[in-house]
Structure 1
Amino acid sequence: MNTPTRMSLAMAAALALTACAPAEQEVVVVTETVTTVAAESTRPSPTTRITTTATAEPVAQETDTREATPTTRAVAEETEAGTATESAGGPSRQHDAALESARQYLNYTNFSRQGLYEQLLYEQYPPEAAEYAVDNVQTDWNANAVGAAQDYVAYSGFSRSGLYEQLEYEGYTPAQAQYGVDNVQTDWNANALRTARSYLDFTAMSDGELYDQLIYEGYTPDQASYALTNL
């Protein structure tokens, strides 16, 4: 009777161990499964990374657009301001450039008002810009006439009337031309002699013919006689 009892106890123990084993194995499996799920839940998915990158690019483009907007607005405002100034009758860029060119010309040589205006037109400034320049340039037209007269008598022999006509031809008014010949520093007798010599260097002439030519050039009889006497 005791043997079967011991065998029953042994078998019972074996059965108990067998019954416990699957439970432990199942627990282990469940634990591993939970661990795996937890690990997978913390790993960033490729989809998340792609979405983040795609979202960042439009934000950068939008920022660039906002940064460029003030510059574009400033250019537009400057253009509108310039147009408004010209529409209001203010000087344009061409007006200012013509005025600066007029100043440079007068620093280089003598001009009459008309001569300077024509020079600016020759430089292809619009007529209204050239007119603005000669109206606003700071110069003394009478002094320019004297300067031009001085240049002419330094270059060639001129009679008083011949010099007056030359200044009028250059665009000086009658009053300015008169001021020029009245204030030029020259010796009219010496000019007559210089003119006579220039003619004789070019061709042979009799005294009578040379005298008539000097009178034609505007010299007085006394000045023409002085030239013939001092050849």
Structure 2
Amino acid sequence: MKKEKPTTKVCKHCKTEIPYGAKICPQCRKKQGMGMFPKVVIGLVVIGVIGSAFGGNGSDNSVDTIPSVSATEISSAEPKAETSTIEPVETQTSIAEQATARTEPSVPTEYKSALKKAKTYSDMMYMSKAGIYNQLTSEFGEQFTPEAAQYAIDNLDADWNINALEKAKTYSETMHMSKAAIYDQLISEHGEAFTESEAQYAIDNIEADWNSNALEKAKVYQDTMSMSPAAIRDQLVSEYGEKFTAEEADYAIEHLE
């Protein structure tokens, strides 16, 4: 007697009787999944495919022998991953800070003070490099150590040509000195101690009326020392005096009152 195919089944989620072929329960709307029969069929199909792969064609049912490979051979054949130790970011930063601390030691307070004082002398008094160093180390000046003074000079941002020019302007405008006298004063070790090139830059770039300077200097000799015009002229052109040119001295004498 042929067994009749069932027309209903029980939902495995809500246990409601539903049509046998339903894939989704009309009540709880959940999928029913495959029964045991479809799963068995799929399993047999998979086994058949695997068997045909190893069986080959014709009556030869022998299976090719696959060479065995030992675990040691597999281990040696596998590429070995390169190992590298990557330090955490915090550790790398700490190492960098330590290296910086070793290469850039903290600057002593005395050195910083010397640099500030040197900047003042350069910016306010237009002193030369040598003049500032001497002032920083002098027992009658700032009394810094030679090391502190040298640090200040090495780290001072100054244009020595401009300093020499500004100093030359001061000598011309306030003391009415001649070109030659200003140059000598700029390079003198007992004066401003600029280099010859710095002093020459100042002389080449200063805007001064040397005739007027000679006249102002002549007036000083006349008013304060009551000197004669001839004596004044000699003083103006003397290499031990004012060092004006003969033309500048003549201009001064001609314009004296």
Alignment TM class, shorter chain as reference:
0.5 to 0.7
RMSD: 2.0
Q: Relative CO higher for 1 or 2, CA cutoff 8 Å, sep ≥ 6?
A: 1
Q: Distance in 2 between matches of 1:96 and 1:187?
A: 42
Deviation at 1:132, TM superposition (A): 1.0
Name which of 172, 177, 182 aligns with 2:204: 182
Determine if the alignment matches structure 1 residue 198 to structure 2 residue 220: yes
Which residue is equivalent to 1:220?
245
| Residue correspondence of structure 1 range 115-130 to structure 2 within 5 A | 115-121=131-137, 122-130=141-149
Determine if the alignment matches structure 1 residue 160 to structure 2 residue 179: yes
Name which of 104, 108, 111 aligns with 2:120: 104
TM-score (norm 1): 0.60
Which residue is equivalent to 1:136?
155
TM-score (norm 2): 0.54
Instruction: Name stretches of at least 5 consecutive residues in structure 1 with no aligned partner.
Output: 1-80
Give the 3 Å change call, closer, same or farther, for CA 102–207 of structure 1 in structure 2. same
Would the aligned equivalents of 2:211 and 2:248 in 1 still touch at CA under 8 Å? yes
Which residue is equivalent to 1:149?
168
Deviation at 1:105, TM superposition (A): 2.4
Q: Distance in 1 between matches of 2:206 and 2:102?
A: 44
Would the aligned equivalents of 2:115 and 2:153 in 1 still touch at CA under 8 Å? yes
Identity of aligned residues (%): 39
Deviations 1:136-155 (A, max 9, x none): 10010000000001111121
Deviations 1:142-187 (A, max 9, x none): 0000000111112111111000011112110111111111111210
SS of match in other structure, 1:171: coil
**Matching residue's letter, 1:135:** D
Would the aligned equivalents of 2:222 and 2:228 in 1 still touch at CA under 8 Å? no
Q: Distance in 1 between matches of 2:117 and 2:247?
A: 45
